[in-house]
Amino acid sequence: MTKRIITFAGMLMMLILVQGSFSEESMEPSMQHGKGMEMRMDKSRCPHCGKMMDGMHKQKQDRKGSMDLEDHFFDVTKLLLSQQEEFKLTDKQRSDIMKLKMNLKKEFLRKNAEIEILKMDIGMGLMEDKVDAKSVKSQMKKVSSIKDEKAEALVDAIVSIKGMLTSDQMMKLKKNMME
Query: Which is it for the CA torsion 145, 151, 157, 160, positive or negative?
Result: negative
Q: Is the pTM of this model over 0.85?
A: no
| pLDDT of 127 | 93
Is a pLDDT exceeding 60 seen at residue 110?
A: yes
Q: How far is CA 4 from the centre of its chain?
A: 40
| pLDDT of 123 | 94
| pLDDT of 1 | 54
First and final C-alpha spacing in the chain: 66
Band (11; pLDDT cuts 50, 70, 90)? low
